[in-house]
Structure formats: structure tokens, C-alpha cells
Amino acid sequence: MKIAFMGTPDFSVNCLKALVESKHEVVGVFCQPDKPVGRKQELKFPDVKVEALKHNLKVFQPVSLRNGSGIEILKEINPDLIVVVAYGKILPKDVLDFPKYGCINIHASILPKYRGASPIHWAVINGDKETGVTAQQMNEGVDTGDILHTKRLSIGENDTTEEMYEKLSPLGAEVLMETIEMLENGELKPIKQNDADATHVGLLTKELSAIDWNDSAFNIHNKIRGLYSWPGTHAVLNGKILKIHSAVLSDKKGNNIPGEVVDSNGKLLISCGDNNCIELKVVQLEGKKRMETSQFINGYKIEKGTVLH
């Protein structure tokens, strides 16, 4: 089968690798344009482009697929199927309709639960016990197409979004290859999504980063691991921003002010709004390097009773 691949970030790379190593022919790879990064604004290739060039694949980086620009490229490479994995662009109807077998999207959620750009983050932020990967037959909606194949994966109590990315990316490749095999064998049984069960999750912003200590320990812990490593979470300690990179739930309970330091003797326990506590494990004070809290409190004296905001 002749397949065009559309993806941009590192998450997509395992799916591209699986296609390259299969019996199928990857006739073209689409990804977002190169972006300037750093102080020198040097152009950086997307991760998918880096992988595609290793295999001498044709790479296309159109600013848009609309107004016939996508169709012109597709006419040149003439794929039987388009595979989309975190491409980052909306596919217009003429592109969706072009291949014989349409477009299959690999989405990092058990659809229809989280549609949109940040499904892994919100599964962790909401304290879900499991997530997964869904292959869907794309239509003009955002992650609204018929479900073709799903695999599930547990989320551990302390798993971060970054860690779940590492687990879900290879699972996505498994789901993709199994879906294509079922397609070839005529075994796919598309299932329509129940829109009533869907939640749309958009791009994350830095405005989400501030910790509200009036919230429960459970919710605060989930927010810290769900927003790691970007945009991250922070509190304010003695007027300075304290980034919180890692925390765990504590068995300690007490009737303290939300945000109050309950214990700073070798560890850093903070009271939350439900009188439960979390233990901060890795922090970074404004202008300083990130460090384990045991090291941090040795160099930066924090009195018991100090209140974080």
C-alpha cells in the first residue's frame, strides 16, 4: 500500500518508523514548517522531518493544505492512504477524500473522551486511571471520526505527562499497524462516537501554571504531574517564583492554612485545601537551578509555618 504520513513532533516518530519498516511504501511525509528557536533564532527541523530524511523520504512542509495546495502534492505522490499523527494542521475535505482508503488518525486518548490538542495532559490532570490510543477514520470534525481500533494503558499514581508520552508513542505505532492490517483484510468495523461523552481539550497555556493551594492534595498533585514538563507549575515563596517539577501525595494530615509549610525538616510538606498534604520533591527557585528539596532546604532555610501562595 502507498502511504502518505502526516506528523510533526517526537510523538509521531514511532509511527513513521513502523511504516518505514513495514511492507508498505511511504510515498511522502508532511510536517509543519521548520521553526526558529533560541536566541539566535536558528531554524530547527521537526522531529518527523529528521526521521524522514534518515530514510531519504520525500518531505513536504506546506504552510497550508487548503485552496488546493494539498491536492497538488497528493496528485504527485498518489497515496492509497494518509496516516495522520499529531500533524498540527486541519485537513480540508478535498484532502480527506483524496486517498482510496481515506485518512486514518492516531489519537492519544480513548475516544471520544478527550478530543483536541492535549489529551495526554488532561488525562493526567484529571487523575484518570487509564488512557490509550485510538485509530479513527478522519472526517471534517476535530477527532470526531468513526473509531477503528483502540488500545488502553494504565496511568500510575505518579506518572507525569512526559512519562505517558513515552509509553503512548510506541503503543500508537502498534495500533496503527494493526489497524492497517485489519483494513487490508477487510476486518475493520467502524464505531460511531457518542458526542455526549466527548470533551474538547485545546492547547495549554502558561496561565494554567499557578497552584491554588485551596484545592485538594489529589488535584494539586495531578496538576503538577499533568503539566510537567510544559508549561509546568509554580507557587510563590517569600515573593519569589518557586517552580514545582515533582511532588507526591503524603499521608500527613492537619488543620493548617492552605499552602502552609507543615514540615521542612529534611523534606518539604505543604498543606492543601482538604487538610491533606503533598510533599514537594524537585523544585526550582527563581534564578536558581532545579534541585531535590532535601538539597534545596539545606541552602534556603524555610521555617515551618511559612505559607506558599
CA–CA distance, 115 with 139 (Å, rounded to integer): 13
306 is a domain residue? no
Neighbours of 204 (CB within 10 A): 18
305 is a domain residue? no
Range of the domain at 121: 2-201
Task: Give the pLDDT confidence of 55-111 residue by residue, as tens digits.
Answer: 999 999 999 999 888 999 999 999 999 999 999 999 999 999 999 999 999 999 999
Torsion of CA 170, 175, 176, 178, to 10 degrees: 130
The pLDDT, as a whole number, for residue 37 is 86
- Pick the last residue of a domain from 167, 201, 235: 201
Tens digit of each residue's pLDDT, the chain (309 residues): 999 999 999 999 999 999 999 999 999 999 999 999 888 888 999 999 999 999 999 999 999 999 888 999 999 999 999 999 999 999 999 999 999 999 999 999 999 999 999 999 999 999 999 999 999 999 999 999 999 999 999 999 999 999 999 999 999 999 999 999 999 999 999 999 999 999 999 999 999 999 999 999 999 999 999 999 999 999 999 999 999 999 999 999 878 999 999 999 989 999 999 999 999 999 999 999 999 999 999 989 899 999 999
- Domains identified in the chain, total number: 2
CA–CA distance, 36 with 10 (Å, rounded to integer): 17
Please answer whether residues 111 and 125 qualify as being in contact, where contact means their C-beta atoms are separated by less than 8 angstroms: no
The pLDDT, as a whole number, for residue 166 is 97
The pLDDT, as a whole number, for residue 230 is 95
Please answer whether residues 115 and 139 qualify as being in contact, where contact means their C-beta atoms are separated by less than 8 angstroms: no
Q: Are β-strands 114-116 and 291-292 bridged in parallel, bridged antiparallel, or unpaired?
A: unpaired
Residues 250, 228 share a domain: yes
Please answer whether residues 35 and 9 qualify as being in contact, where contact means their C-beta atoms are separated by less than 8 angstroms: no
3-state SS, one letter per residue, for the chain: CEEEEEECCHHHHHHHHHHHCCCCEEEEEECCCCEEECCCCEEECCHHHHHHHHCCCCEECCCCCCCCHHHHHHHHHCCCEEEEECCCCCCCHHHHCCCCCCEEEEECCCCCCEEECCHHHHHHHCCCCEEEEEEEECCCCCCCCEEEEEEEEECCCCCCHHHHHHHHHHHHHHHHHHHHHHHHCCCCCCECCCHHHCEEECCCCHHHCECCCCCCHHHHHHHHHHCCCCCCEEEEECCEEEEEEEEEEEEEECCCCCCEEEECCCCEEEECCCCEEEEEEEEEECCCCCEEHHHHHHHCCCCCCCECC
Residues 197, 210 share a domain: no
The pLDDT, as a whole number, for residue 274 is 96
The pLDDT, as a whole number, for residue 60 is 98
307 is a domain residue? no
Residues 224, 162 share a domain: no
The pLDDT, as a whole number, for residue 291 is 96
Question: What's the CATH code of the domain at 239?
Answer: 3.10.25.10
- Pick the last residue of a domain from 181, 201, 221: 201
- Pick the last residue of a domain from 172, 201, 230: 201
